[in-house]
Amino acid sequence: MLNTLAAAALAMSTIIIPPGGAPGTTPPPDIITIDVVTINGSGCKAGTAAVAVSPDNKAFTVTYSEFMAQVGPEAKPTDFRKNCQLNLRVNVPSGFTYGIASTDYRGFAHLERGATALEKANYYFQGMSQTEYRQHNYAGPLSDDWQATDTTDVASIVYHPCGEKRNFNINTELRVAAGTSDPKKVTSFIAMDSTDGSIETTYHFAWKTCPKP
**C-alpha span between 120 and 148 (Å, rounded):** 10
- Its sign, for the CA torsion 209, 22, 120, 74, is negative
8-state DSSP, 57: S
Q: Is residue 162 part of a domain?
A: yes
Average pLDDT for residues 59-67, to the nearest whole number? 70
All residues at 6 or more sequence positions from 203 whose CB lies less than 8 Å from its CB, including other chains: 13, 14, 15, 16, 100, 103, 123, 170
Q: What is the mean pLDDT of residues 1-6?
A: 40
Query: Which residues pair with residue 24 across a beta bridge?
Result: none
Within a domain: 164: yes
Indicate whether 182 belongs to any domain.
Answer: yes
What residues contact 139, with CB distance under 8 A and at least 6 apart?
111, 115, 116, 117
Give the C-alpha separation, 87 to 78, whole Å. Answer: 24
* pLDDT given at position 177: 98
The verdict on residue 167 lying in a domain is yes
**pTM beyond 0.85:** no
**Residue 186 domain flag:** yes
pLDDT of residue 186: 97
Task: Examine residue 212 and state whether it is found in any structural domain, yes or no.
Answer: no
Q: Do the domain assignments include residue 213?
A: no
**Could you tell me which residues are beta bridge partners of residue 124?**
169
Instruction: Provide the pLDDT confidence category of residue 203 given band limits of 50, 70 and 90.
Output: low
- Flag whether pLDDT at 149 surpasses 60: yes
Q: Which domain holds residue 80?
A: 2-206
The one-character DSSP state at 62 is E
| Contact in structure between 174 and 83 (CB atoms under 8 Å) | yes
Domain count, the chain: 1
Helices (H), the chain: 2-7
Summarize pLDDT for 15-61 with one digit per residue, the tens: 444 443 344 445 667 777 777 788 889 998 777 766 666 665 555 66
> Shortest CA distance to 25 belongs to which of 71, 73, 69, 58?
58
pLDDT at 22: 42
Reduced to 3 states (helix: H, G, I; strand: E, B; else coil), residue 7 is helix
| 184-200 pLDDT tens trace | 999 999 998 633 223 34
Nearest to 50 by CA among 104, 7, 94, 14: 14
pLDDT over 80 at 111, yes or no: yes
Query: Is residue 120 one of the residues assigned to a domain?
Result: yes
Mean pLDDT of the chain: 76
